[in-house]
Amino acid sequence: MFTLHHLIESRSQRIVWLLEMIGTEYEIKAYPRDPQTNLAPENYKKLHPLGSAPLLSHKDITLAESGAICEYIVQQTNTSELLCADDPEAHIQVQFWSHFSEGSFLPPLVSSLVLNKAREKAKPFFVKFIANKLIDAIMDAYFNKVIARNMAYVEAHLAGKEYFVGNSPTVADVQMSFGLDSMHKKGRLSAFPNTSAYVARINALPSYQTAMKKMAEAEAQVK
């Protein structure tokens, strides 16, 4: 059985969706963040030297990195269709979107999230004023531009498509789902009709709904 180690407010929901999509047996172990650092607690760090989330334990290994975890699960469950393994061109596309998610799409989103959290914590007033100016300058100079470029690329790709590759969900959708769903929840997809329709489509999938429900239940046990 697979064991998913989930750190509160991390990207683990993608792996839960993949496991639900496959229909394999698994359990979720949720961990609260350290209240002082907002990072992984000590018992989580003992699972893997990186202390990052998600982590997957299976047999005698504990694996980090979402892309590697997805490929491992597919290999172990003989569900190579989720990587489009029999179609070389489609397989390349699945691999591209999986790596694009981690390498290009999520980093500026996470950076903007961290900067905005720093904005919220800045005080007193004159410090907050300076912090706002500095963060606005950083966002305008780089992160906003990169996010806009990435979203334009995703929006164009999804035109006339149900999923990122082919006519059913693949690992490409699993990997891209977290960032897009997060933007949707923050009301940042209104200018992207193709992407908005895509997020609505995956949110309506029974496997996705079950995954989100199980994630919420696991988190509720440690909050």
- For the segment 115-128, the average pLDDT, to the nearest whole number, is 60
- Give pLDDT, residue 9: 83
Provide the pLDDT for residue 57: 98
CB neighbours of 149 closer than 8 A, spacing ≥ 6?
Answer: none
pTM of the model: 0.90
Domains of the chain: 2-82+209-220 (3.40.30.10), 88-205 (1.20.1050.10)
Q: What is the pLDDT of residue 121?
A: 62
Mean predicted confidence (pLDDT) in 175-188: 95
CA 179 to chain centre: 5
Instruction: With beta carbons less than 8 A apart as the criterion, state whether 82 and 72 touch.
Output: no
* Band of pLDDT at residue 110, cut at 50, 70 and 90: confident
At 20-56, the pLDDT tens digits run 999 999 999 999 998 888 788 999 999 998 889 999 9
| Residue 67 pLDDT > 90 | yes
Q: How confident is the model at residue 135 (pLDDT cuts 50, 70, 90)?
A: low
Is the pLDDT confidence value at 126 over 90? no
Q: Which residues contact 18 (CB under 8 A, 6 or more apart)?
A: 70, 73, 82, 171, 174
The reported pLDDT for the residue numbered 79 is: 98
Q: Which residue has the higher pLDDT, 142 or 16?
A: 16
